[in-house]
Amino acid sequence: MKNYRKTSHSVYDLKYHLVWVTKNRKPVLYGDMADLVRELIREICKSLNIKIIKGHISKDHVHLLVSAPPQISLSKVMGLIKGKISRKLPKGFWGRHLWERGYFAASFGCVTDEIIMQYIALQD
C-alpha cells in the first residue's frame, strides 16, 4: 500500500534518487567529515519537509532516496544541500570547491523502492 504524504494543498508520492560527487571525485567523505555531511543533509531535509528514505555517503559521492513535496524544486534542494555543506565544513581541506557542478536526479515508478534501496546499500 502506498504511503501518500500530505501538505495543506496536496497529496503526493514523489520520490527521487539523487547523486552528487566531490570535486574531481576526490575521496574526502569519510570519518568525521562523512558524519558531518550526514548530519547537515538530515538537518536541511527536515527543514524542507523532505523525508530521507535511504542514503549513503561514499568517499567521493552521495546517494539519497528522498520523498519531496511537489512545491520544492530539485534544483533548489540540491543548491541548498551542496551550498550549506560547503559553507559548514572546515575550509582548505579539499581546496576551493567541495562538489562538482551538477547532480544526477531520477524519479521512478516501475522500479520498486526496495530495488533502489538495495542499490544504495551496496554502494562502496
pLDDT at 119: 87
Phi and psi for 65 in degrees, rounded to 5? -115, 115
Its pTM surpasses 0.85: no
Domains of the chain (ranges, CATH numbers): 12-121 (3.30.70.1290)
Asked whether residue 18 carries a pLDDT value surpassing 50, the answer given is yes
Yes or no: say if 98 and 23 are a contact pair by the CB < 8 Å rule: yes
φ and ψ at residue 86, rounded to 5 degrees: -60, -40
User: What digits encode the pLDDT tens for the residues 26-56?
Assistant: 999 999 999 999 999 999 999 999 999 999 9
Is residue 54 within 8 Å of residue 102, measured between CB atoms?
Answer: no
Q: What's the rounded Cα separation, in Å, for the pair 17 and 116?
A: 8
pLDDT at 102 over 90: yes
